[in-house]
Chain A
Amino acid sequence: MIEKGNIDEMLNGYIDGELSTRQMTEIKRLIRNDQQIAEKLKELQKCKVLLQSLPKEQAPAGMMDDIKAAMERKTLLSSETLSFDQQQGSKHLILRKIASVAAMVVLMAVLGAVVYMVVAPQGRSVEPTVSEPIALAPTEPAAVVTTAEPAKEAVATVEARPFYARLELKTSQLESIDAVIKKSIAEAGLTNKLSGASEQSKGLYVISCSSQNLSLLLAQMQRNWNKFKAPTLVVNSDSSDKQIKVKDVTTNQIAEIVGSDTLEGSLETAREFALLNKSGIGGLLGNQEMIVDDSTGNDLTAIPKRIPKPKLTWDEAAKTADKDSESGLRVYLTIVVEEIQNDNE
């Protein structure tokens, strides 16, 4: 059953022609069968007809002109507003430009500060300054580290600590030995590594070079090593008041000592050779490959068990030196040749 409200809407839809075919059929049936609905339909139709009968009024003449005039007024007003807006816009634009410049200045300042913090300290960083070791027992200079440098720099400086040593040689033929040593230095290409004072004097050679270059020199000197008496390598240890003396040192031992990657390694090697040579084993082995064997029956409990690194030949040393002449530990070696009266002394 259709509700009254719905019937009214359907009756309106019926007179307006807005019903579907099914609705139209249903409402027609209701109209036929229900007198009240039929009366209602007539009332609604009367209302519709009454309103439809109202005269259709024409728009006033000159509507088009009025619209155009209104548009012109609007355009004029909007152009005035635009002019005002443009003035405001110019001011706003200037302010924005000033703000942009200020922002850029601040940004540049911040960037500059960041770059200064990152780059400038590195630019100002001073290479570890080392005094030229012209003294026989040069004091190991402290690496100069500016307080502004980051901790990383300090670590790098510590790792780059040089190796200081003094090689003491004795001979009764100072003239010829001096010539031999200088020739060896020249052949090793270390003439430019020699301090100025060394070139003038006899028996004193202060060399500043890499461990690789020193190996080259040692390879040259090995040929005449038997002309030296009691060669002793004096190594400055960590503590400046303590020295490691490696007596009867061989060129291979020196090469191995300076061949270590770190200063600590070199000092440790020097200690071991000092102990070995003191016990006489190192002297017996001389420049031969050293093999430690407990089966010999010797009391080697106090002697470190070590397998030395393979020794460099002249060619190998030269190749390595050519390839990376400045690599390895930085070595400051002072060679002191003391003249003695005769070989028997």
Chain B
Amino acid sequence: MTETANIDAHSKWSSGKPVSIDDATLVKRYRHGDSEAMETLIIKYQNRIYNTVLKICANPDDAAELTQDTFVKVIEKIEQFQGRSGFYTWAFRIAVNLTLNYCKRGVKIRFTSLDAEIDRADSRVKGALRQFLTDDNVTDPARIAGTNELGELAVKALMALDDTHRAVVVLRDVESMSYADISRVLEVNLGTVKSRLSRARNNLREILEAFLK
């Protein structure tokens, strides 16, 4: 999926209103003193960046702060933006780097151990997960989106991944970013993206199965 396609796919929930002006034009207008152009860009991407950051750091307050920091940095560094990549991938690179650095510090993120989570998973949650994993017909995300138990388990499983694997799987499955864009955001080559994604999904599968035991 291309960058433009990504923007179109998320346009319904990202800003709430149709965006007809492309990013490069908005950046150019902002550089020429049009502050509303930057506001447009922030409105356009704030939800997507917040959602991605939240899935990586798992803390709404921290995600809000990191999103805010992301846009402040975007404004500060906009003169350095040369347009070699799209504004979209550039802004996400800043957001993901800030979030991964935040995760590395490990001050605010307090992970509970996987075993403790498994112990606390009651039979109702386990049942929902077992059904999900065994039902070959459950392939539509919208069908299970309302199942809170699965959502909580998914977040917990996601947080059990290491930072780099979590970032790549979030960018792919949550943000629906193409492999090429992921490689630009994470500043790694395409092969690394593929291998990390493969390992992340395998680990995620193992974590989910561990909930059922």
Interface contact A71-B75, CB-CB below 8 Å: yes
**What is the minimal beta-carbon distance from B165 to any residue of chain A, in angstroms?**
12
Report B188-208 CB contacts with A as 1/0, cut-off 8 Å.
000000110110011011001
Name B38-59 residues within 8 Å CB distance of A. 39, 42-43, 46-47, 49-51, 54-55
B173 and A59 contact, CB distance less than 8 A: no
One of B47, B71, B136, B173 near A48 (C-beta < 8 A): B173
The 8 Å CB contact of B72, one of A11, A44, A52, A67, is A67
Q: How far is the CB of A131 from chain B (nearest CB, A)?
A: 85
B46 touches A12 (CB 8 A): no
Give A52 to B1 CA distance when docked, in angstroms: 15
Kindly provide the distance from the CB of A82 to the nearest chain B CB, expressed in whole angstroms: 15
Could you tell me the distance in whole angstroms from the C-beta of A62 to the nearest C-beta in chain B? Answer: 9
B126-148 near A? 1/0 per residue, CB < 8 Å: 00000011001011111111010
Selected interface stretch from B83-91, B103-111, B151-159: B151-159
Interface of B is mostly: helix
A23 CA / B55 CA spacing, docked (Å): 31
Complex CA distance for A45 and B138, rounded to whole angstroms: 10
B138 contacts A44, C-beta separation under 8 Å: no
Q: Which residue of B lies closest to A64 (CB)?
A: B42
Q: How far is the CA of A8 from the CA of B202 in the complex (A)?
A: 9
Option from B67, B142, B179 in Cβ contact (under 8 Å) with A59: B67
Q: Which of A12, A46, A59 contacts B50 (CB 8 A)?
A: A59
Cα-based distance from A60 to B47 in the complex (angstroms): 8
Enumerate chain B residues within 8 angstroms of A66, measured Cβ to Cβ. 64, 68
Interface pair A47/B204, CB less than 8 Å apart: yes
| B residues less than 8 Å from A64 (CB atoms) | 39, 42-43, 46
Report the minimum CB–CB distance from A10 to chain B (whole Å). 9
- A70 contacts across to B, CB distance below 8 A: 68-69, 72
Residue contacts A-B, CB under 8 angstroms, 9 given: A12-B198, A52-B141, A53-B143, A57-B51, A57-B60, A59-B50, A66-B64, A67-B75, A71-B72
Give B residues with C-beta under 8 Å from A.
1, 13, 39, 42-43, 46-47, 49-51, 54-55, 60, 63-64, 67-69, 71-72, 75-76, 132-133, 136, 138-145, 147, 150-151, 154-155, 158, 169-170, 172-174, 176, 178-179, 194-195, 197-198, 201-202, 204-205, 208
Chain A residues with CB under 8 Å of chain B are 5, 8-9, 11-13, 16-18, 42-60, 63-64, 66-67, 70-71, 74
